Each structure stands twice: as structure tokens, then as C-alpha cells.
Structure 1
């Protein structure tokens, strides 16, 4: 009798299992709709179900979609056979696909984890316990941030169901791409979830020993244990090789990264749950693919390639080549890529897939497009094997082309003109300038301006005017100072494209003007002759003003040498010498710790009491050498701010001198040189001199000799050679600097109100200051400081800026509000970072005030119920620019308000009017006294509730509710 009850119970349980077991795999795809500010998304839950021995459908009573913003979850309706969102993709193995899409708008910025949960996976998954009673859970995270922008997580084009063969290596690629185009993707393996932050029970990786008879020889070649991994860069999953036949579930994350201020920041991600069906051993060899090398192509050109698939079996199996990429999904007007045959078919080996893409300017973007190719063989008596390979295509903008370049000698300006740019969707034109020309031409994948060429970005201008006309010229006046006399200036252009796609063009050829007449002294040398803290010496040399008007300014000339501290001239210049010579050695300097710059003023003999001023040279700094100590090597970097170029083709090599600790300038020896026009002003000493490795216990001292010119060698001989100071360092320094002490000028709300002269401030500034620990030991080799900012206390920090060690203050300008937190890190010459400073936060002074009476009678006075502001005052002022706004009005202005929800009720508690800011609705409400239907309300006292969301540091304290009574008065009575 007991045995019979047990059998009945087993039957009942098995029946329940058969009814409930169905979910195999899935993920959530999220697409942004419209602008980031709209915060609207299309959310699609895609699942793959089991159709064998079950009639359970996707969706239903316990199947919840959570938007991640604490709003109520929603039930997904049942979707099954006959529904347009349902399809069977493998009848034999019982696999169907279903999906559900909904649109949703988020209320504000945040990091939202969208999730879907359904009670049961399919029965019999080998690498977890009791899969039939294990909840299926997937999630996707999005970021909506006023500084980082909005994320659109990766789209995955290859289904998360795949077949493998026992004993044969398995490969899979999800075919992911970033819809925004400007973000980078990374991949990481994770454990499948049964709920948020809850993994399935007793999960085992597919290569766990429990799934193998002989684990030690479990790979395809029978000479090692099996492996299971995902390529973090391209997402290819490799399982070498599956063991027992059966069904395995895995999970992985495709994470989105965005480059912000030079640092990669993690944005959203997709968490995919995938199923691999391993079938019995098969006597088969894997097919192979021949794909092109990764390529860059200029927009407007056509890319044609042939992809070949082969099968090594004898006789060879037929092969099918498939292609997956977003570029095949573009609408016809956007010129999608095509491949043939499409749809893919099995062909005799070798099979071919013909790829063609007529690229356009609209395809330009920063990140390359990925095309994933898959080749599979055809086996009538076994499991087919597959191979995946990824091809990357980057579409870049064509180089701008020059039209003309003219020099205006009267004011030393250059007018440069270029042809209308080919790609009308370009957003900006970068204008780069350098002294002297170069024959550089970029290679096929080298976009933008290479840093090592030594060009300076002097302007970035809009590619089009506000009316849509292309901008095709620029006047260079060198920030109002005029171009430097004696120099030949050369220009190049780069076109850039707007985010989210981003991207840039090839750099143009150069066009040159000059040389500029040398009618003032031409400074040629600022060379450190001796390094010391109190006895340093710098040699300053210059050329006479050889193009000056000798009639107006007859020689001989008197020269006055001015010096200042730093790379560039401030207001602290000091007259250090008056001479008739063209060389001066400045002595008694701290050349070890300080940077100096010089200029030369020339005077012509005049009256007995005064000389006639001829002009002043450009400012030139000394060469400053810095080092970065690393394990087994020392990196040298040097820079100078000079009117000539230190990266010229005729004399490209800078010389590297080295010696032991305590060496004087004469004792250092030449160990190497570097081509500054190719490698820039950087050198890494790995002990290559005399093939002697650097000793980590030894101090090495260095000095650099730069070589440059004005691009005017017939009158200003080249090279102009200048030495840096000596700097000494040991390799392998691992001791970080001490933690800086950071302060921020915190906002005093009372003072802020008094200091405001308007209510319309749109940008604000936070001023940061820092000091170092009193201990000199841990501060001696600080090279720079890195500043980080976050939007909330404890929130994710974003790199903001890096400033040199001599700087101890920073202004974070252009902020929409004061509410920010900051930390700062000290960095030494070896690249060691200190601990971050203690975070310091600033907050806003939010304010909102509503009146208690208004008179909507159309007389232009107090006609609307509005938050306090100065609009009416300015409107009634004859000349608003000359009006002095009363302080009491400014103090009551609405400040730092994000949004407003407003409702009005009559004395019986009935809602008569509601309002919400956003789109064209302002935060001021501006209620005209009418009800929802536009009918004027009777004069009376009404009750209102206003829910105001402020921009504050802590979002949890940002909402404040204002309640009160307002008297609607008929002003004509």
C-alpha cells in the first residue's frame, strides 16, 4: 500500500514538473527612444522556451517585469502559439522563441536595473540543482546621468541557444554591438541567477570534473583538462571540450564602457542566460573561416570582400556561412551592408559569402563595427560543428581639403580657407597649427591629429553656421597677439562628428604661410646650463630684429631681458638684464625645482633721455624634464613652451644624456636619441645603453638636448639646441605619495542670496584647494594631481582633470549646480598614486515660494499664480539691461528646481486643476485660474499641493511638498 502511494505521489510530481518546465535562455534588450533628456526606453524581454512535454507559455500570473525604479512590477501577458511574438525555431529539440515589448519613461537620473523573473527553468539542466524548480531570472542595467549621458546597453544578434558535440571544442559568440556607437563593450562570465543577487543552487562550470570520465584528458586533443572561458574583448565563448551529453546553462554579462574625460566609465550591461545542448560524440572535424584583416575605410567608399568557409573532412561536408551585425539591419535609406547568399545556405566546400557595403558619411563613428561570421558544417549522421570569427570595420571621415592660405603682414594674421567638407553631418572642425612643415600622411586607421607631430589645437569651430551654411575659413591672430615673427606657420584640419556615434576624419595635408618678418628680437635659446636649487644657470640667446625698418629703428639695439616663473608669462615678469649683446646667462636660479620663461625687448637709440621701443620677442620657456620610475626601466618626458618647433623633420632627433648620482652636466654621457617627430618627446630607458640592465638600487641622472627650428633656416639657422635640467631617479619606485588634504569653498546660502544679481544663473563654479602632509619625505617627487568628481556622496567617481604638482587649486566651471563631491589623488614621477583625499561635497541652496493671492483678470498684473521670479519686473522695465532688480525679489527666486507637480482643489476637496513641469512647461507653474477644461474658476479660496523636486546632493532629500491656500480674486470687483 505504501509503495502504491509513493508511485502516485511520484506521478503527481512528475506531472507538475512536465507542466512547469519550460524556460531555457533569454535576456532583456533596452533601446532608448528619442533624446537622453526624455528618459524614455523600449524594453524587450526575449526568452527561449522548451516545448517538449509542456504547455506552459511565456508570461502569466507569476512572471514579473521590474523597471528598477521602485515603481510597481508588471505582469507579462501569456504569449504562445498563434501569437505574433512567438515562433518555434527547432521542432525536433523543442525550442521556441517569445518576446514582449513595453515602453517606459523614467522620472529622473539614476542607475536602473531592469529585471524579469519567471518561476521555472526547463528540467534536466546538468550544472545546477533541481532546475525544474529553479526560478529563471535575467536583468539589464541602464544609466541616466546628467554628466555621463544615457546608456543604451548592447544588442545581442545571435540567439542564446547553441549545440555542442561531446569531445569537440565548442565556440559561440553573442554578436553583440553598441547601438549608441560611441561605447566599448567587455564580456565577463558570471553564475546564472534565480533572483536578484541570488545565484542558482550548486552551480557548476561546464568544465567541472563531474561532467567527465577522464578529466585530465578532457580537451579536444586529449592532452589536457577541459577549459571554459569568454574572451573579454570580443565575447567569444570557448569550451574545450564538452564532456557528458545534456543541457548546460551559463550566464555572462556584456558591459558597456564610455570614455569620459579620458577615463573609461562603466555604464549599463546586459546579463544573458544561455543554454548549450551537448549531444553525443560525433566523428566530425570543425570547419574553418577565412575572414579579412580588420579594416578602416573612408566614408563614401565601397568595401567588398569574400569570406571563405572550408570543411577539412574527407569527403568535405557542405558548409553554411552566416553573418551577424547591426550594419545588416540598417534601413534601406541608411545604406545597409549586404551579403550573399542571403539567407545562408549549405554549399560545397569551399563555400563563399560575398560581402558588400557602400559606406556613407552617416556611418562614421568612433568605435568600429563588428561583423561576426559563423560557419557550420552539415552532418546527416551527427552534430554539426561551428567556427566563429569577428571582423572589425571602422568608417572614418575623409580628410578636409585646402583651398587657400594668405598672410596679412600688417597685423601678422593668417586667413586659411578650405573647401566645403564632404560630410555635411560633421559637427566641428579642429584647426591645428605648428611651426615648420611636415610631410606626414596618416595610415588607413590613423584618424585625428597624432600627438607626436607637435601640432597645437588652436581652435575648434562649428562646421556649420546656425543657418546650416558650411564654415570654410578661419583667421588666426594667435589669440590677439599676432603670429610670432621669424616663423613659418603650417596648418592642418580634422573634422569631428557628434555623439553618440562620435568619430573623426583623417587629418588634412598641411598648408603654410610665412615666414613672418622678424621685426622684433627672435628668441632662440633658453637652455639650462647648470642645475641647482640656488646656483642654477640658464643661457638665453636671441637674433637681432633683422627685418626691422632700419630707418625708423636704426641700430645698434639695446636689449632688456625679462624673466618669469612657469611655462607661460603671467603678470610676474622681472627685468633681469639690460645688454647690447644677444646672449645672457641668468645665474643664481632654482633650476632644479622651478621652470622659467624669458622674453627680450629691443630699443633703438633715440633722444639722449629715451630709446625708441622696437618690439618684444615671443616668450620661451626652458625645457623641463620629468621622469616616471617603473620596474626595470625609467620613462623620460620633456616639454617646453616656445615660439619655435622642437619637432622638425630636418633635425628630428633629441639627445638623451645619463650619468650616475652626483654627476655634473659635463659628466653626463650621450646614451641614445629619439625621433621626436615619430615618438614624441618621450624616451624609455630599459638599460639598452651598453646592454646593461638598470639596477633598482642605483640612482640615475638624466638631461635632454632638444633640437628645433622656426621653419626659416636661411635666416634663423637650425637646429636650435636647448638643454633641460638634470633630474635623478631610481627605477622601481613603489612608494606612493601621502594623501592630499582637500577643501572646497562651500556654499553659504545667506551670502549666496545676497551676492546674486539675477535669478537667471545657469552655470556655477566649485573652487577646490588642497595642501600636502607636512612630511616632505612622501611629497618630494609629486608630479601631478588627479581630481575626481561624483554627483552624490559615495557615488561613482569620474575623472575630472589632471594638474601639475605646482598647482594647488582648481575651479570646476560650467556646472548646472553646486551639488558635487570631490576627491583628489597625488601622483609621483613613478606613476604611484596616493590614497584618495577625504571626499568633500558642496550642495545647493534650493528655494521655492508660492504666493497666496492672484488676480487673473487680464490687466497684465499678477494674472497668473506663479512661483516667485523676476520676469514681470523685467517685462515692465523700459530697458531691462539698465534695471536694478530689488534684492528682496532676487532672494525669493526659485532656485535649483528640477521639476514641479502641482494640484489645486476646491473647498469640497475636488481636484480642479493639475500641472507638471517638463517639455515646454516651466517650473514656475503660471496657472491662469482656469480648470482642466479651460473654464474660468469662480473667485474663491483654493487649496493647493505642490511637490517640488530640487537638485540636491542627496536625492533622498530632494523632494519637498508645499501645501497652502491661494485666494483667486476678481480684480475688477
Structure 2
């Protein structure tokens, strides 16, 4: 409770609604604060803070507090209050504290309502008969971690002067380190019910007799009333009519998990501003510039306040840094004292590792003047100083090459034991980089890839490329970043870089260069080096190479050997380089025709275009074993047509891009020759990349071109919609499949409209899928063919739709759906009439047929019952799941008694997985001849 006495504001949010019969004038302001006090149970301490008018004989009490879980309490007696303090100037502070345990996680809105507000509030109707109402929300979610509401450290009663800008900051801090945001709301009198006839304080009705058009402090415009959503600075520039005004705002807390922000709750503050007439001038504050320090730094600063009228001043400071459990900050003099102007406040904070977090600490400084009675009221000014504490860099990183094309990393134990994990980053080739002030983590566009994460207690990592081995000939460079746990988060300065080179004991692929773009006549030039570090004794030269090609950026899809050669270059022809991406690898054979090893895989460069109004954005990518983010060769080159007036089809160099600064993208707006792009024209491009292995023995830069691709600026016209969608029938799919197959595929095909202009513009197709027509269709794949095979299905039912995509990424309207419904013809389940349970290993149980043409498929469950000829039930069994639907009745009663030879009767209810409810259930009746 130290905040109650230190700054007269401890905030724990609880709010409840109700109606009461106590009509009097007393409540000025308040809020609710919520604090979790147990890690084992869902027990919270709830604090209601209320400021009252001591001119009223009514005491704070008689309100109702609702916990948000259906439980509520009445606050009826003075004994319920933990603190009651007369602050003078007809203001009293009242604090009510109660504990409450929730029974389950959830979202709870705490509400407090009490009659009545104090009389005479200018910006609402009949305030003396208007209830006071506030609410706070708290989210309890074990997956998001412990949660407390924000605490508001600066009291919600403040004074202002007519004609002078009013400043307020709630001094909010979140004990969990969550991010805070602020927004203005209208004060309420009940759930979802605003107070009557409310006006904001800068409304013209509060400036009667004044020039409203010049009523701000500078007398240059209308008065304003704003709240900074990021730091909580509330500014009213400037008050008009003297009197009491009530305002309200919400402080929301947000927690980032991964890339998603979750609202953890909020606190509503209903506060009062007392405006008085004065010729007093507002005091001034001089604070340090926002700063960033490494954990362990001693932060010492002097804050100065002064008053232009020469009045005495009082300097104070608020913020979460003073409430930290580990090495809190301090200021002096504390408690604040009246000082002559100018006055000083000394700030001291010994930071440590437990202070590291992603968000800056917001430290509020307040200066208040202390004028003589004739110059009252006192005026204040707030300033916020942002201090960010970051983790120190990991130290002692070393790298050593290991057998099997691996690199062992070791480093010193990290200085901050409260960090959660150490991230390991890798790139090919060195990257000289010195972090700037407050720069943490890996810099953007630097080419580093996160390859591993270990617990902060570990100090080693083996990089073997997930068991595949690192690429031959590459110089691998590493850096470390320590990451701190949520919700505060934060990370360290990056470590220094270390590098290690993998031996080039296999071919080193250096070029996958598109030399011609076409749909069936495209060509790609592939180049590699001989194995520079191969063992000539075990693997004698001369060497032979096989060049293998596969589809996509990486992987083995469509992998095929396209040539065998003793050269170190090859031109691959007859390809669809316009629409497809290919990757290559080189197999090495020695003089004895023994396969020695293979190179890494490297893909073509793929360029994509995104048309905009007046421009076209280029984005390109490739999966290669070298680095295309090289400091010595940082520029990639952009080529385009429609530049040379004498030969408009020629693609010429128009610009270069420093990919270390901008990444692999470029926006063409005609800036190369100051000629804007024309909307009705098509523009074609290709990009040349530069790369390196960081190996002095391998030639650099490695130059590789993308395909040529064209687009039209501001092309918003979509292509035509695909038509004639067809699916192979379920009978066709199942007819040749054995009974033990549990994975299936659907093949969908389509055609384009007969309109030729559609075909000319189409680049690919989006295939969408939904389980039923009533379900939402989701994007399944993007393909360049007019068919798609949906593979690895446990169930072939479902619906498909297709849309065409043109070269400018415009998508057509989606096609009509086609569905695989699994009708009765595909739902096979047959039972025999005879079985011989004589333990000879042949036909010993009664079970469903499982032979070709009679395979039971898509069966969800079978309820099977056996009767004797008199109708007496002998046996019942329910099998669920496709592995258990064969029945396998051994010819016994329910309790295991062996039945004799004879004829028995059965009922079976078979339930199939299908979207057609008319055939989803099949009832079967028949007889069974049991023979021994």
C-alpha cells in the first residue's frame, strides 16, 4: 500500500453496477485496480479508489461491486474502507480493498457503481443525481501468463487555470511489462449508459463570453482536448469557464505473443478537473533526452524545474521504475519539498538484468508551482522521460569445423540468467556490423537466418544443417542474440561475428541463370566449380558430373538427371521459365565411376510484380547456398523495356538496389528517366542478383538473372472465370485401390472461357477447398496447370472452386463449385452369410468382406447385433473407427458362451462419412449360417 501514501493513487481495477437509494453529492473521481496475489489459485486483490467532496455530509460507501463472475458485494459501512484521508481543498481520498478468487480462467469485467456524483459538474446534466460508475476488465488465461491490471500512479483530481493549457498524465505502469494504450471515453452512470447531456470540456458551451475561435492558450485557434494514445499525455488547450469538469479515459494493456497482440484488460479512469481563474503562469521542466542503457548501467540525472513568476515549486516523479522489486529507482528530495525556483530533483537508478524489457520505462516528472493565495490555483506541467533497458551482448562466441560438414559453436555463459533463450543466427559470408545505441537483435536485410534456439543455461550449439550437413565451399558466419521472457520481452545487443569455412570437397554450384524466358523454349545456364578439396587418392580424377533438376525453389519434386558431362557448365533448354521455378544440384563421380558427393541445391531467381497506381513494385527471391546479401556486392540490377525509344522492346538497365538497405524489392515509378509509367502500357522486367560464398577461391560476384515478367500499372481488370470444373468420380478413384489403402486423392480439372483475351492474361490459378458447400472456402494451392491433384486425403469428400490470376495478380471471380459427395455407390459394406468358427485359421470369425471390389471404406461405425431364431438377443458389439469396423464376431454370446451350429439372424447399423445425409446411415438385416 506504499503507493497510497506516496502518491495518493494505488490503482487496482474493480467495477460493479447497481442502483442505490442514497441521493447526495460526494463522488468526484475514481478507478479500480486488480492485482493477482497467488500463482497457485486465481485470487486477486481488488482496490477501488474514490475521491470525494468533503463539503458533502455523505461518506463514500453504499455502492455495489460486481466481480464479473456473477458474484457481487455491497459496500455499506465505513469499516469496509482501508484508507480515508482528507487531502484538503474539499477533497478526500478513499480506498477500499477486497480479495476475490475466481473459479476458472476467463474474461471478467469488474464494475463499481455508487450514488452520487458531486454537484455542479459543468459538462454533464444534473450531476448531483447522476450515479458514479467505473469498470475494469481482467483476462485470466494460463496460456498468456499471469496478469495484473495497469496501475495509475498519479491521482485523478487535478486543477487548471482558465486560458492556460492543462496537462495530465495518469502515470500508468503495468507490473507485467505489458504495452499500454490510451483512449478517451465518455463518463458513465451504469453499464453501457453514459451520463446525461455530456459535453467534452472544449465544447463551445463552456466558452460563453469568450472568442471560441481563439480560445486556445496562444489565442490562435479553437480549444483542443486530446489524449496521446501511446504515452497517456492528456492536454486541454485551454480551459474556458471556471468550474468542475469530469472526463474519462481507458488505459488498455496489450501483450504480444509471437506476432499476435492480445488485449489483457483495461482500467477506466473517471477524473475531475477543477478550473479556476488566475493570472498565474505555468512552471517549466527540463528533463533529459530519451535514452537507452545496457543492463547494469548506473543512471543518474538531474531534473530542473523553474517558474516564470518566480514562485516556489514542488518537483515530483512517478512511474513503474519506483515500484520494481529488484533495484528500484529513487529520487530526492523524497518526499517532495517546496523549493525556490529554479529547483532540482536528483534521479538515480542502478539498472540490472531484471529490468530488461522491450518497451521503454515511462518516467513522469511533475513540477507544480506554489503561488501565494492571491495567485492561486497552482499550475503544473508534466514531462515523460523514456528509458529503455537492453540486454548486454553475448560474449566469447567461437566456431570450429567438425566432421560431417558441421560447425561447433561455443560461447561464454550469458551474464543475465533471467533471459529465456539464446538465438543462433547464420549467414554465408562476413557481415561487418556495429550495433548503434539501443539497437538490439539482428539488423534487417542483413541476410542472417535464425537456425536454432537453446535454453539460456546452455553455451554450445552444433550446426549440421538439421542433419543434412552444411554446403561445401561456404564461409559460414554466426551471431547470437539473447531473448528475454514475455510479457516484458526484450532482447540483447547482438554478439560479435565469428566465421568458419566448410571444405569444398564436392562440386560448388555458382550459377543458376535464366538466359531465356519462355513457356517451352526457356533456357537456364548452370555453372559449378570442381571439388577444390576432394581427396585425389580415395577419389581419383578425372571427374564426371551429373546435373539434376527439380521443380520449385527447393526439394526433390520432379527430380531428374538432365545431363552427364565432364565440363563445369551446362545450358538446360526447353523449359517453362516464365511460370516455373527450378532448382539444380550437381552429382560428382570419380575416375572409377564412384559417386563421391553432390553439391548443394540452388534455385532460379523468381521475380514477382505488384502493379500500383502509376508504378510497379518488384520483389524477387531465390534459395541458394551462397549469399545474395553481400556487403562488397550489395547492389542488384533492375532491367526494363520501354526505355530506348529506338528499340522499345529492349530491356536495359534502369536502376540498382542496395539490398542491405531495402531488401529484395524495388518500386518503379519512372524515376530512372523521369518519365511516368503509362497505365495503358505493359512493362517487362528482369533482375540480376550478385552473390558470394565468402570463399577467396571461388570467383565472385556470382551473377544470376531472373525470368522476364510483365505487368501493367494500375491493372485492376481481372481475367475471366474458369469454367467446366470436373472431378474424377469416387468409383474411378477407388476401383483399382487395395483395401488397405487409407490415403486418397482428388483430381480436379477446368477450362478457360472461349474469350481469347482471358487466356493471354492468365499466369496461374488459385484452387479453393471446403468440406461442404456451407463451409468457408480456403485457398488450397496456386498452380499454373489447368488441373490439380489434391493428395494424401483420408477422406475424398469435399468441394472445390477455382479462380484465375493474371500477371498483375488480379484474381477473377471464383468459379461455380464442384463437389465430391460420396454417394451410395462409393459407400460399400457387405457381410457374408456363412462362417466356420472351428479354430482352423480359416473363416473363424464373422466379418465384413475386405476383398477387391468389396472394400469397406469411409465407415465411421458399425453397431452389430445377433439374435437366435426366437428373437432373443445373443450378442451386441459397436465398433468405431475404420480399423475396427470389420465386426470379427467369434460365434459366442455376449458373456463368451460358444454357440452351436445353426442359423442366426443379425441387424447392423452402418454409419458412413459422407456429406449426403440420405446415405450416411445404412441399416442391414440378414441371416448367418454358423457351421462347425
Q: TM-score, normalised by structure 2?
A: 0.74
Match of 1:542 among 513, 523, 528: 528
- State which of 589, 594, 606 in structure 2 corresponds to 1:624: 606
Cα drift, residue 507 of structure 1: 0.8
Query: What is the deviation of 1:259?
Result: 2.5
Displacement of 1:482 in angstroms is 1.8
Indicate whether 1:426 and 2:416 are aligned: no
How far off is 1:193 after superposition? 0.8
SS of 2:673's equivalent in the other structure is helix
Mapped to 2, the partners of 1:220 and 1:694 lie a distance apart of: 49
What SS does the corresponding residue of 1:267 show, helix, strand or coil? strand
Match of 1:321 in 2: 315
Q: Which residue of 2 aligns with 1:655?
A: 637
Query: How far is the alpha carbon of 1:414 from its aligned partner?
Result: 1.2
Cα distance between partner residues in 1 of 2:365 and 2:233: 12
Q: 1:593 & 1:436 partners in 2: Cα distance?
A: 31
Residue in 2 aligned with 1:6? none
- Indicate yes or no: 2:299 matched with 1:274: no
Counterparts in 2 of 1:711-790, with a 5 A limit?
711-713=694-696, 715-732=697-714
Identify if the C-alpha distance between structure 1 residues 723 and 370 changes in structure 2 by more than 3 Å, giving closer, same or farther: same
CA deviations on 1:844-879 (whole Å, 9 max, x unpaired) are xxxxxxxxxxxxxxxxxxxxxxxxxxxxxxxxxxxx
CA contact (8 A) 2:201 2:245 kept: yes
Give 1:158-197 correspondences, 5 Å limit. Answer: 158-181=154-177, 183-197=178-192
In 2, distance between residues paired with 1:786 and 1:48?
Answer: 60
State the match for 1:338 in structure 2. Answer: 330
Contact 1:287 1:375 in 2 (8 A): yes
Distance 1:291 1:556 in 2: 75
- Equivalents in 1 of 2:814, 2:115: separation in Å? 45
Counterpart position of 2:470: 483
The answer to whether structure 1 residue 347 and structure 2 residue 339 are counterparts is: yes
Answer whether contact 2:397 2:498 (CA < 8 A) is retained. Answer: no
Q: 1:553 is matched with which residue? A: 539
> CA distance change for structure 1 residues 830 and 297 in 2, over 3 Å: closer, same or farther?
farther
Task: Report the 3-state secondary structure (helix = DSSP H, G, I; strand = E; otherwise coil) of the residue aligned with 2:661.
Answer: helix
Instruction: Tell me the CA shift for residue 630 of structure 1.
Output: 4.3
The equivalent residue for 2:291 is 295
Q: Deviations over 1:83-106 (max 9, x none)?
A: 6411122x12x1111122222232
- Whether the aligned pair in 2 keeps the contact of 1:428 and 1:496 (CA below 8 Å) is yes
Q: Contact conserved, 1:738 with 1:772, CA < 8 A, in 2?
A: no
| 1:331-377 CA distance string (max 9 Å, x none) | 3xx10011122222333333222222111111111222111122222
Aligned to 2:420, what secondary structure does the other structure show? strand
Aligned to 1:56: 58
Cα distance in 1 for partners of 2:160, 2:752 equals 63
> Which residue in the other structure is 1:459 paired with?
452
Shift of 1:217: 1.5
Alignment of 1:503-518 (within 5 A): 503-514=490-501, 516-518=502-504
CA contact (8 A) 2:642 2:648 kept: no
Relative to structure 1, the CA distance from residue 268 to residue 84 in structure 2 (aligned partners, 3 Å threshold; closer, same or farther) is closer
1:784-863 equivalences under 5 Å are none
> 1:335 touches 1:358 (CA, 8 Å); kept in 2?
yes
Verify: 1:709 aligned to 2:692, yes or no: yes
Residues 43, 456 of structure 1: alpha-carbon distance in 2 compared, 3 angstrom cutoff: same
8 A contact 2:712–2:808 mirrored in 1: no
Distance, in Å, in 1 between the alignment partners of 2:225 and 2:809 is: 36
Selected match of 2:489 from 499, 502, 506: 502
Give the equivalent residue in structure 2 for 1:109.
Answer: 105
Residue by residue over 1:616-657, the C-alpha shift from the partner in whole angstroms, topping out at 9 and shown as x without a partner, is 000111122234444555443322111111112221212222
Name the counterpart of 1:72.
71
Residue 384 of structure 2 is aligned to residue 397 of structure 1: no
The question of 1:118 aligning with 2:111 is answered no
TM-superposed deviation, 1:725 = 2.2
Q: Who is 1:920 aligned against?
A: none
* Per-residue deviation, 1:557: 2.0
TM-score under structure 1 length normalisation? 0.71
Structure 2: runs of 5+ lacking an equivalent? 1-19, 723-743, 792-802, 816-876, 882-932
Say whether the 8 Å CA contact 1:708–1:721 is kept in structure 2. Answer: yes
What is the CA-CA distance between 1:597 and the residue it aligns to? 1.0
Structure 1 residue 803: deviation in Å? 10
Check the 8 A contact 1:665/1:726 in 2, yes or no. no
Q: 1-side partners of 2:41 and 2:767: how far apart?
A: 37
Q: In angstroms, what is the RMSD of aligned CA positions?
A: 4.0
Shift of 1:385: 2.3
Distance (Å, rounded) in 2 between the aligned partners of 1:506 and 1:703: 38
Determine the C-alpha separation between the residues in 2 that align with 1:828 and 1:185. 44
1:693, distance to aligned residue in structure 2 (A): 4.2
| CA–CA distance in structure 2, aligned partners of residues 770 and 524 of structure 1 | 38
Listed one character per residue, the Cα deviations across residues 101-130 of structure 1 (whole Å, up to 9, x for unaligned) are 222232333322111111211111111111
Q: Give the superposition deviation at 1:474.
A: 1.3
Q: 1:232 aligns with which of 219, 223, 229?
A: 229
Distance 1:652 1:661, change over 3 A: closer
Contact residue 434 and residue 645 of structure 1 kept, 8 A: yes
Tell me if structure 2 keeps the 8 A contact 1:634–1:685. yes
**d(CA) in 2 for partners of 1:355, 1:835:** 64
Q: C-alpha separation between the residues in 2 aligned to 1:57 and 1:827?
A: 71
Count residues with an aligned counterpart.
752
Distance, in Å, in 1 between the alignment partners of 2:386 and 2:720 is: 44
Q: What are the Cα deviations for residues 251-283 of structure 1, in whole angstroms up to 9, with x where unaligned?
A: 111122232442334332111111111111x22
The alignment partner of 1:393 has SS state of: strand
Q: By how many angstroms is 1:399 displaced?
A: 0.6
Say if 2:127 is the partner of 1:131.
yes
Q: Tell me the SS of whatever aligns to 2:641.
A: strand
CA distance in 2, matches of 1:378, 1:286: 11
Residue 523 of structure 1 is matched in structure 2 by 509
- 1:40-92 deviation digits (Å, cap 9, x = unpaired): 3222111111111x2222222xx1111122x1321124348x96411122x12
User: Which of 23, 41, 45 is 1:42 aligned to?
Assistant: 45
For residues 687-698 of structure 1, what are the structure 2 equivalents within 5 Å? 687-698=670-681
- Deviates further, 639-648 or 628-637: 628-637
Pair 1:636 & 2:608 matched = no
Distance, in Å, in 1 between the alignment partners of 2:292 and 2:580 is 45
Residues 613, 686 of structure 1: CA spacing in aligned structure 2 closer, same or farther, 3 A cutoff?
same
Alignment-derived partner of residue 281 in structure 2? 285
For the residues of structure 2 that align with 1:540 and 1:802, how far apart are their CA atoms?
34
1:87 is paired with a residue of what secondary structure?
strand
State the shift of 1:404 in Å.
3.1
Give the structure 2 partner of residue 204 of structure 1. 199
The Cα shift of 1:302 comes to 1.3
**How far apart, in 1, do the equivalents of 2:303 and 2:748 lie?**
61
Whole-angstrom CA distance in 2 between matches of 1:783 and 1:288 = 65
Contact 1:339 1:356 in 2 (8 A): yes
> Is structure 2 residue 14 aligned with structure 1 residue 28?
no
> How far did residue 829 of structure 1 move?
10
Q: 1:737 to 1:587 in 2, by over 3 A?
A: same
Match of 1:85 in 2: 83
Q: Provide structure 1 residue ranges, at least 5 long, that are not aligned to the other structure.
A: 1-15, 465-470, 741-766, 788-792, 812-824, 838-886, 892-973
Does the residue aligned with 2:445 lie in a helix, a strand or coil? helix
Distance 2:683 2:466 in 1: 41
8 A contact 1:154–1:270 mirrored in 2: yes
C-alpha displacement of 1:828: 11
Q: Is 1:249 equivalent to 2:231 in the alignment? A: no
Partner Cα separation in structure 1 for residue 813 and residue 365 of structure 2: 46
Change (3 A) 1:888 1:156: farther
Give the C-alpha shift of residue 506 in structure 1: 0.9
Aligned partner (choices 677, 681, 686) of residue 660 of structure 2: 677
